[in-house]
Structure 1
């Protein structure tokens, strides 16, 4: 079978996984990235002064129920046990998230059992008059009531999204995590962990193949696709088309990095639920590697704002006007030959790492099957909504 030449735009998870799958079948793969490192926003780097493994673009915690994806990442890195236990500061106290029995009892000054707490929240706190929640605010009010909503969700959401929760769809809060036991593990997936030496080393392992060439500090131009049989594009969807229909909306993050001699906050993630505190949370990076010991600490204060043209896009806004524009770009993407749009930016969705890897594996399988059958690789594009 004739082998192909493929271009991956972006050296993050999507490009690395698809590229590796194609290379293992004998195809030549070139991966380019505009940054000076691989890994995309999952990039990690060890701080030279403190020795702390830093999540350069904010923390990434691996969690999944997909055993195939879990087995895949463990081929390229040793994953250490890690449970995400988030705290939040509100009203002068520190509480545990997600909202659980400890949070409820502490907040209301009670000592309720699980069944008592459930009855208290559903019968005395929750606004049962809201039968079909349409907004984020209604969703929260319907399931936990005004007091918990205003303490833990309202201010944080305004800071994170730059608008009032009544303007956000209820789908953002699909299933409000409320637990009537003392389980404070933020995620509920079977497999959870952190790569022992960071995500960048893991992705370097995926890219370590003789048929893969990586080019950093390289901007993509659409004319580059002429030299390849197919392009897998993980950059911004609207950016591929030169923003000709307008720009899709994103939130971006600013990080205020600081060091501390000792343990700054005693946990990896501390949220700040009140609107008057300008940052959404503080992350202390040595706690993301609890198997290591470091005397000093690296911390990030996170500030969320609307992304400008020169900012790194983090969270797709996906409100009404963005969805309308997205549909127009999707139509352009469907008509574009020899290009598959992949990943968080290419499909304008917020994706967890495990979903990104699963989709990349599926896309690679789709592409290899089409190639072996002599068919054109039509764009593998996830539905808009």
Structure 2
């Protein structure tokens, strides 16, 4: 039940994906209520009416808060192209510097002026007191954990699992078709350079009691070296535990021997990615899938949706010995 590689809360609007995962594990109701420590105070995320009123010392109604943020926002930015411009155009400088600037610098290892505006479009601003971090119809946590769920998915007579086995291109000679979910640049042994990834370090510690009163506490100040602290007993509120297992999470550049967690996708990465995509499209008998294979930030539900679609695309073609493309997602290089 401890999320060793960071917290994973399942959330989706895709009914078929929700039905699929519940076929291997019962998902218990769970609402992700994230808090953040900034400038010596604790606030709720995403930014909502309580956050706005607490931060500015106001008692706004929803319409008043909306009008207030309209005045705070930088309306001179009409077409934001960077993370910082997007934040300033949405919430203004005060909220941006308190909740986004320092956290983003730690998370991505670069200035928000170098990150695309699209990253921030995933974060809503609410003018009510709803502190549910996600807005999807289906949300929950697997009752017995993801390890048990994945174990049941793999418990099938057609599946053989080989651990600690490095895939090499020469291995495909023994396969009808390869679905490759490792790093796309790694597939080509990084011959033309390495794409940029971020990796994470987790510092585990124990606490006798309740350490922070919530599952996830972000740290928005740049002076805090970690991005967040997770307290894992709060991810399964249907259980009771006296002690706590907690992790401090640190983000840094991914080296050759590190686990790549998520792609950076800056301009220089996109140029190299386009090169690897062109090489991949010349490969035969290989389809690149997943977060690393397509070099995109994907949530769990999107990954599962694409896997189901890939299987449906492949199976009739396999029976007819038809062609399978290298990528089902043509927007990979965008």
| TM-score tier (shorter) | over 0.9
Q: Does residue 35 of structure 2 align to residue 68 of structure 1? A: no
| One of 185, 209, 217 as aligned partner of 2:156 | 209
Partner of 2:64: 116
The residue correspondences of 1:1-385 to structure 2 (distance < 5 A) are 53-123=1-71, 125-382=72-329, 383=331, 384-385=333-334
Deviations 1:276-321, CA, capped at 9 Å, x for gaps: 1100000011111111111111111011100000000011000000
> Secondary structure of the equivalent of 2:239?
coil
Following the alignment from structure 2 to structure 1, what is the Cα–Cα distance between the partners of residues 160 and 87?
Answer: 48
Deviations 1:171-199, CA, capped at 9 Å, x for gaps: 11125411000000000000000000111
8 Å CA contact retained: 1:87, 1:94: yes
Deviations 1:44-92, CA, capped at 9 Å, x for gaps: xxxxxxxxx2101111110000000000000000000011100000011
> Secondary structure of the equivalent of 2:326?
coil
> Secondary structure of the equivalent of 1:152?
helix
8 Å CA contact retained: 2:199, 2:252: yes
Deviation of 1:378 after TM superposition, in Å, equals 2.8
- The count of corresponding residues between Structure 1 and Structure 2 is 332
Following the alignment from structure 1 to structure 2, what is the Cα–Cα distance between the partners of residues 374 and 175?
Answer: 40
Deviations 1:258-284, CA, capped at 9 Å, x for gaps: 000110000000000000110000001
TM-score by length of 2: 0.98
Following the alignment from structure 1 to structure 2, what is the Cα–Cα distance between the partners of residues 260 and 220?
Answer: 40
Task: Give the unaligned 5+ runs of structure 1.
Answer: 1-52
Deviation of 1:380 after TM superposition, in Å, equals 3.0
Following the alignment from structure 1 to structure 2, what is the Cα–Cα distance between the partners of residues 242 and 91?
Answer: 45
> Secondary structure of the equivalent of 2:23?
helix
8 Å CA contact retained: 1:334, 1:381: no
8 Å CA contact retained: 2:310, 2:328: no
Task: Give the unaligned 5+ runs of structure 2.
Answer: none
Following the alignment from structure 1 to structure 2, what is the Cα–Cα distance between the partners of residues 168 and 180?
Answer: 27
Task: Return the structure number with greater relative CO, CA threshold 8 A, min gap 6.
Answer: 1
Deviations 1:87-116, CA, capped at 9 Å, x for gaps: 000011100000000000000011111111
> Secondary structure of the equivalent of 2:259?
coil
> Secondary structure of the equivalent of 1:76?
coil
Following the alignment from structure 1 to structure 2, what is the Cα–Cα distance between the partners of residues 270 and 175?
Answer: 19
Partner of 1:27: none
Following the alignment from structure 2 to structure 1, what is the Cα–Cα distance between the partners of residues 234 and 189?
Answer: 41
Distance verdict in 2 for CA 1:135–1:65, change over 3 Å: same
RMSD: 0.9
8 Å CA contact retained: 1:143, 1:176: no
Following TM superposition, the consecutive aligned residue runs of length 4 or more in structure 1 with deviations greater than 6 angstroms are none
TM-score by length of 1: 0.85
Deviations 1:16-40, CA, capped at 9 Å, x for gaps: xxxxxxxxxxxxxxxxxxxxxxxxx
